Copies of this chain bind each other. A is one copy, B any other.
């Protein structure tokens, strides 16, 4: 039994007429006749009484008509539901984070994505640049914010902004620091990040240029934690200048007037997934939030 048997059954029951039913079903009358006959033989039930005026449902046929309609309706539901999610993004978008939500404008990103793709579940995974890139490569993340250069050939990335960095100093060390002398700074304790963080590279470059190395004390792989350490007087650290200045209002911390290289905030994903609708949706939303003109991607496939 196939759906066309049921469709024919219901149509003939409604029209009480093979010829009219065949017209409604855009086929020939013998075909309709064969459908009914095949269905009756498979069921072992006579569905219609053949009269000179047409086809009239038998009591058994009338009993079965409703069930046939229900089956057709269920199949129709399936189709309709499929059509309704045809152009919808379904699934989960896992985004890696490398710094605080506010700076990454997560609220706007989430709001835009959820509005445009209500069936797309979004997961933000806290992490760091160094942890997120391998996670991208093994598929634990779909996309990620990263800082610094992104020369991995497997990854596509978009620059969102340049992060201006500065050396954050605890207030209690203000007098012992004095003017910004690199060699003097190196002798103070530092709160540092893991080597795979872009800030680490900035810090290392700063001292290597002057042939010295900082005294390391504590590692904090999250800039919120790092800032807290600095404010607590544990040592110096590298943070975004705007963050330091913001924190200075309520914490014993200030930014050294030392010029540091900037670092790019990027959004990265696997190149192989560049045409994945979920990735494209994420990039498109990101380009809105960050006012980029980037997503001029070719409409592949």
Contact = CB atoms under 8 A, between A and B. Distances in A.
Among A1, A3, A74, A85, chain B packs the most CB atoms within 10 A around the CB of: A74
A77 B63 CA distance: 12
Interface of A: 1-4, 6, 43-45, 58-60, 63-64, 67-68, 70-71, 73-75, 77-79, 81-83, 85-88, 90-92
Count copies of this chain in the complex. 2
Contacts of A77: 67, 70-71
Contact of A71 (B58, B64, B67, B75): B75
The interface residues of chain A, by DSSP majority, are classed as helix
A20 to B, nearest CB: 23
B79 A43 contact: yes
A82 B6 CA distance: 12
A85 B82 CA distance: 34
Given A70-B77, A77-B67, A59 B92 contact: yes
A78 B7 CA distance: 13
Contacts of A83: 43-44
Given A58-B91, A59-B90, A71-B71, A82 B43 contact: yes
A86 B3 contact: no
Contact of A68 (B1, B45, B78, B92): B78
Contacts of A60: 85, 88, 90-91
Contacts of A68: 78
A279 to B, nearest CB: 15
